[in-house]
Amino acid sequence: MLEITPVPILADNYTWVIRAPNNDAAIVVDPGDAQPVARALKGAGFNLAGILVTHHHHDHIDGVAALASEGVPVFGPDDERIPALTHPLRAGERFDPPGLGTTFEVFETPGHTLEHIVFYGGGVLLAGDALFAGGCGRMFEGNAPQMVGYLAELRDLPPTTKLYCGHEYTAANLAFAQAVEPNNAHLQKRIETVAAQRSNGSTTLPSTLGEERETNPFLRWDEPPVVDQASQHAGRALQTPAEVFAVLRDWKDHF
């Protein structure tokens, strides 16, 4: 079992610190700010062994160059905007981040950005801004068919898979989910759980893909209540998963 802890950075980002039990070698994911991450590693007595990057947005990469100057490998999408990249990765590639004893597989997840990738291994999905707890990233570069395509792949991973994403957006995402599915009992329960977590100041992550499948509207484009509600919102009968997804995404953007 990997041990995964968050370093909260910037306004609402998480840099995830991943280790194998009884091993000081730590992998960090999406360090958008070097200082708090370096401080957290030092405070815990961990040694940085590598960096994983999901996409080029500044809140995910701005700490990479400073941290990588210790000479550690940087794994990420084949994208020249990723600083200090040593291991460019493509869909389907498998790799072993140093010190974890776990193989990760790469999924390409175009939509939020075209080069966005996610990492799946050890029962864990490191999703960046491709999939959030209760939501998904804004569609800045890709299109709805691309996003439905990769989300369909991700939702088919085992339901016990733990989801670690790049932001603490869960409460706001679930408020939107409730507008889409006011009668989803799983969702009501999750909203209560998340509200309690937030009032304690604790993270809402990880969730599981099973929970996401039951409550995240962006994985539910083929559930009749979601199709109906999206169609009502659009004022026309939506036919395809991509049409439903596009309406949901646009609705959320203006929610």
Residue whose pair of structure tokens reads 């306004």 in the numeric block: 11
Contacts of 104 (CB under 8 A, 6+ apart): 94, 95, 96, 97, 119, 120, 121, 122, 126
Catalytic choice (33, 55, 56, 116): 55
Instruction: Give 129 or 212: the residue with its C-beta nearer to Zn ion.
Output: 129
Residue 233 annotated to the active site = no
């701005």: which residue's tokens?
62
Tell me the closest approach of the beta carbon of residue 61 to Zn ion, in angstroms. 10
Residue 253 is a catalytic residue: no
* Least gap, CB of 52 to Zn ion (angstroms): 15
Give the integer Cα–Cα distance in Å for 12 and 168: 6
Phi, psi for residue 34 in degrees, rounded to 5? -75, -40
Given 30, 33, 116, 129, the catalytic residue? 129
Q: Say whether 87 is catalytic.
A: no
d(CA 222, CA 214): 12
Binding-site ranges for Zn ion (CB under 5 A):
57, 129
30, 33, 56, 57: the catalytic one is 57
Least Cβ distance, residue 183 to Zn ion (angstroms) = 32
Which residue has its beta carbon closest to Zn ion?
Answer: 57
Verify whether residue 79 is a known catalytic residue.
no
Show which residues are catalytic.
55, 57, 59-60, 112, 129, 167
